[in-house]
Amino acid sequence: MLSQCVLINLLTALMSETWERVNEAADDEWKFLYVSNIDEFFGLPPVPPPFNAWLILRHLYLRDRGADPEMLAGRRAESISMAEAELRKRSKMAQRDLVRNEAASEGRTVQAQLSELAMRLRRIERCHARAG
């Protein structure tokens, strides 16, 4: 009887530990996918397809008027770098908001939550660097 009680307690402890690991991994994966979605949308044109005809016509007009192709490419590169900077800014803001929400709900200090999130993000970046 005692051995059955011990085994049930052991099974409960193992299931609890497994649940915690799965829950932590799901949280990390959700945050990574959230940032990946933001990154994906920054690669899209600034306006949806029916309305981006104006941008295409403007580009063709400037090209036909003899605008320097390097200048046109420079504008594109500048807008891409601006988009990357905006992505970083929004990503940091989203991470900060997530940390604040989690810290408020769990009653932990923001500093402890930030250090934990930074550790998780470093792990995600290492995994992403190995995969890429």
- pLDDT per residue over 3-55, tens digit each? 778 778 888 888 888 888 888 878 778 887 887 777 777 667 677 777 777 77
Nearest Cα to Cα of residue 73 among 87, 88, 62: 62
List, for residues 58-80, the tens digit of each pLDDT value.
Answer: 778 777 777 665 555 555 555 65
pTM, two decimals, is 0.29
Question: How does pLDDT run across 95-131, given as a tens digit for each residue?
Answer: 777 777 766 666 556 566 677 777 777 777 777 677 6
Distances, alpha carbon 12 to alpha carbons 19, 70, 75, in Å: 10, 65, 60
Looking at residue 72, its amino acid is L
